[in-house]
Amino acid sequence: MSTIVKTENGLKIHLIQERKFKTVRIVVRFREALSKSSLAERTLLSSMFEVSSARFANSTEFETALAMNFGTRFSSGVSNKGLQHFLTLAMNVVEPRFVGENTLKTAVDFLQAVIFQPKVENESFDEAIFSIEKTNLLHYFDTLLDDNAFLAAKGLYELFYEKEELRLSNMGSKDLIEKINATELYNYYQKMMTTNVIDIFVLGNVSEAEVKELFVSWIFENKTDLTEIFYSQDLKDFEAKVLEKEALQSQLALAWHLPVRYGDEDYMALQVFNALYGSQPNSKLFSIVREKESLAYGISSFFDSFTGQFRVSAGVDPEDYARARELTLKLFEDMKAGKFSDEDIAQSKALLRNAFLASQDSVANMIEEAFIDQILPERKISHDIWLSELEKVTKEDIQKVASRLTLQSEYQLKGYFQPEEDLEEAEHD
């Protein structure tokens, strides 16, 4: 359970006191409404945070500072949950009592330097560092063109979502990155520091008094908290699209309209349905489409209860696409018709239970639970309730959830192979 620690300088810090780890995790999250206009800036700013600060002359000094603090690990990244976009900085530092030094203070001071003291000259980010990070990001977007699973997912999102921001990667796009210069990025940084909601999490064997002392010099302006996080859209007509691309595999991507939100009455039934249909090793998609019929290299189902989407993704041989699609949809109809056994349900529940209990040893998961409890207190699902509600799910509940899903979108990345002799002929032509 997390405790809100209020500091004299106005911060609200989420303290999760836990003695079973030998490290302490510190997370600082900048949170704002999802907006196309800032996705690329936040992605590039995240990269800048990860390599530089005015306190360090170069990247070597930056990395050395981390290594000297007993190998402290630091990372920065972007993500979104529903209608909110996150820029998150995270550190894992060894607990002071194991090394006899105040590793926590050193880590928080490092974070403060990264966040509050960027490397700036003439109201602009350091041009050399900015140029390197921008180039690296552009190269990364280029590599995604060879990731067929990513392309299929992106194509599916473009078909499924009506909101433009959800059609994009949470990193923005190459076109958006290309348009940014160092001065514009610094201007956005200043705006983010004064407008974003700031979430700070500390997880480990740390007291409230220690937390207050660690962050005594951090000053952020008070912000109005973001409350809107769930996205929903009306049902629309089914839409399909095919992209032909030279590739050894084809990609099958299907999306259903999902009217079940996190914490709803049907939420636990959705968990079991997803496990039984496609997310677990005993699932119908895995055991039948992949194992029994050998129609897919990999196939899984997923759901996002914050944006209202349930989806299936699979990699298949081009000649097997039609059969794999047909069987995937047939198995979905079988779920609606209740063509699964009590033993299937029991096994799926056991796997979900084991996964849930294992997640309680995940530092990242514990912090996300604290975050959800903060922004959606009325939908809080305690550990005991999660486990008890899981056991209550019936066959009829699973069928009910399946019947509430409506197929909306299909994206096929159709792979083909061009023999070398055909390539030679094309070159001569």
Note the pLDDT tens digit of each residue in 232-255: 999 999 999 999 999 989 999 999
What is the rounded CA–CA span in Å between residue 243 and residue 360? 41
Which of 86, 162, 38 is closest to 375 using CA atoms?
A: 86
Please answer whether residues 363 and 21 qualify as being in contact, where contact means their C-beta atoms are separated by less than 8 angstroms. Answer: yes
The predicted pLDDT at position 337 comes to: 98
In one letter, which amino acid is 380? K
What is the rounded CA–CA span in Å between residue 105 and residue 95? 11
The predicted pLDDT at position 7 comes to: 84
At the top level of CATH, the class of 2-214 is alpha beta
Note the pLDDT tens digit of each residue in 100-126: 999 999 999 999 999 999 999 999 999
Please answer whether residues 44 and 185 qualify as being in contact, where contact means their C-beta atoms are separated by less than 8 angstroms. Answer: yes
Domain residue spans of the chain: 2-214, 239-416
At the top level of CATH, the class of 239-416 is alpha beta
Region 150-165: mean pLDDT is 96
The predicted pLDDT at position 159 comes to: 97
| pTM of the predicted structure, to 2 decimals | 0.93
Contacts of residue 428, Cβ cutoff 8 Å, sequence gap at least 6: none
Average of per-residue pLDDT values in the chain: 94
The predicted pLDDT at position 426 comes to: 45
Q: DSSP strand E in 268-345: where?
A: 298-304, 309-316
Which of 221, 177, 234 is closest to 39 using CA atoms?
A: 177
Note the pLDDT tens digit of each residue in 378-388: 999 999 999 99
- Full 3-state SS string of 75-140: EEEEEEECCEEEEEEEEEEECHHHHCCCHHHHHHHHHHHHHHCCCECCCCECHHHHHHHHHHHHHH
Q: Name the DSSP letter for residue 169.
A: B
What is the rounded CA–CA span in Å between residue 143 and residue 137? 10
Contacts of residue 334, Cβ cutoff 8 Å, sequence gap at least 6: 284, 340
Domains 2-214 and 239-416 share a fold: yes
SS3 content of the chain, % helix, strand, coil (to 5): 50, 20, 30
Helix (H, G, I), strand (E, B) or coil at 397: helix
168 pLDDT above the threshold of 80: yes
Tokens of 127: 């041009």
What is the rounded CA–CA span in Å between residue 115 and residue 90? 12
What is the rounded CA–CA span in Å between residue 107 and residue 425? 61
Note the pLDDT tens digit of each residue in 271-283: 999 999 999 999 9
Tokens of 299: 């196939």
Which of 61, 71, 197, 173 is closest to 119 using CA atoms?
A: 61
